[in-house]
Amino acid sequence: MRAQNFVRVTAGAFKGAKLKTPGAGTHPMGERERIALFNMAGNNLTGKFVLDAYAGGGTLGIEALSRGAEEVYFVEKSPRAVKLINDNLKSVKCVAGYDIATDDVAHYSTNRKFQLIVADPPYDKFAVDGVVNLVSFLSDDGVLILSHPESAPEIPGLRLLKTHQYAAAHLSAYAK
């Protein structure tokens, strides 16, 4: 059994709750970066639909639910990580307002439009291809926030709003 790592929810209804992370081979987004991400997104998520792409253990989506998101869709291709998302949702006693797809982000499809898409792909396999698939799910007034290892990539169909760097991580916000 691998040792589990934990992160804490930074704000909202679940503030302070400990969430398990996938552990070995992953690098969950740190607290400072998550706070910055939600500052970039606008802290009031009340009534918004959010997509957590490359969800891992679901930390970003659970943070969004904690901050008032109407509904969060988690997309994660690892069945082990999907189980962890379910475990984390149960640990914060969240029983509604979410959907989980066991799918690769590059192949994910939905008719839903999202006001916020958060994408934290694995840096060792970073490619813009999967992120480009997300553009069609972004509402006209929506924002996509991408965590990436180097300078902000160009994403066809979106314009870069701003970028912040935190150690080796970069967060970039995009809109239509």
Task: Report the CATH number of the 5-175 domain.
Answer: 3.40.50.150
Rounded to an integer, what distance in angstroms lies between the CA atom of residue 82 and that of residue 101?
Answer: 8
Is the pLDDT confidence value at 1 over 80? no
Domain range annotation of the chain: 5-175
Residue 119 to residue 144: CA distance in whole angstroms: 8
pLDDT digits (tens, 9 = 90+) for 141-160: 999 999 998 889 999 999 99
Averaged pLDDT score across all residues of the chain: 91
Task: Give per-residue pLDDT as tens, 24-39.
Answer: 666 778 899 999 999 9
Confidence band, pLDDT 50/70/90 cuts, at residue 169: confident
Write down the pTM of the prediction.
0.93
pLDDT given for residue 25 in this prediction: 61
Whether 166 has a pLDDT exceeding 50, the answer reads yes
d(CA 103, CA 32): 28
